[in-house]
């Protein structure tokens, strides 16, 4: 085999290896992108849950603060359920 055909063969092998490497790297890139999208969707769900929990906490804190202020400052107490009278209109 002449040196010219050996160079051609070597270049052909290098081109095939380069193409295989390109296909592999594109596949890995797509797999990682799909994983990234899944993680971003999960992050968005967690952010929504966090906002709902913060809203619930602020609602509970407001009701608790009103109840505490009524008890401490105004000396109000919950009525006895037996003494509550319901009036219909």
Residue linked to tokens 């380069």 = 18
pLDDT tens per residue across span 55-87: 998 888 887 888 888 889 888 888 888 888 889
- 3-class DSSP state for residue 82? helix
Q: Which of 29, 40, 18, 76 is nearest to 10 (CA)?
A: 18
pLDDT tens per residue across span 4-32: 999 999 999 999 999 999 999 999 999 99
The pLDDT confidence band at residue 36, using thresholds 50, 70 and 90, is very high
pLDDT at 1 over 80: no
**What global pTM score does this model have?**
0.58
Q: Looking at residue 21, what is its pLDDT?
A: 97
- What CA–CA distance (Å, rounded) separates 44 from 50? 10
- What CA–CA distance (Å, rounded) separates 84 from 89? 16
């Amino acid at each position: 085999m002449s040196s010219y055909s050996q160079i051609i063969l070597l270049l052909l092998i290098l081109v095939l290896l380069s193409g295989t490497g390109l296909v592999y790297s594109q596949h890995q890139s797509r797999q990682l992108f799909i994983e990234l999208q899944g993680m971003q969707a999960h992050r968005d769900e967690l952010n929504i849950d966090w906002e709902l929990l913060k809203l619930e906490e602020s609602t509970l804190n407001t009701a608790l603060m009103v109840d505490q202020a009524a008890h401490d400052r105004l000396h109000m107490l919950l009525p006895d359920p037996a003494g509550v009278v319901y009036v219909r209109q």
